Amino acid sequence: MPAVSPAEGEPPDTGHAPAADILTAERAYLLQSREFLHLMREDVLSLKALGGDPISEEYLKAELYHRAEALKDLPGTPLFFGRLDYRADPPPGTDGQVSAGGPLRAGGSASPAES
């Protein structure tokens, strides 16, 4: 079967989306993420601090305040919801799992102190 050539002036189909489509999708994703961030903050601000005693209630109020501050949108700051992993393969001697302290070292410990 003969190969079908693209129409005059059209780039050949490489199987990849055009850069403009990718950027449009990424921008839409970021707008949606910022909206979800706003909704999360509004949800925290709507909560009432109901503690079992006055001291617990004040601690809860402080925690809710700090959580709401952490959820503020900083328009000049890029959104980041995950971990950047630049390695193609997991570090030698690990199974590729990551602990809260960072990549696991050989033997499964997360830090030299635990080795």
Whether 67 is in a domain gets the answer: yes
Of the candidates 47, 44, 32, 31, which has an alpha carbon nearest to the alpha carbon of residue 72? Answer: 44
Q: Number of structural domains, the chain?
A: 1
Whether 112 is in a domain gets the answer: no
| Successive 10-residue mean pLDDT values, the chain, 115 residues | 54 69 90 93 95 95 95 85 70 60 45 45
Whether 12 is in a domain gets the answer: no
**Could you give the CA distance from residue 23 to residue 102 in angstroms, rounded to a whole number?**
31
Whether 102 is in a domain gets the answer: no
Range of the domain at 61: 18-74
pTM of the model: 0.53
| pLDDT given for residue 109 in this prediction | 43
Of the candidates 115, 86, 80, 87, which has an alpha carbon nearest to the alpha carbon of residue 101? Answer: 115
| pLDDT given for residue 81 in this prediction | 67
Report the sign of the C-alpha dihedral through residues 101, 103, 109, 115, in that order: negative
Q: Give the rounded distance of the alpha carbon of 62 from its chain centre.
A: 25
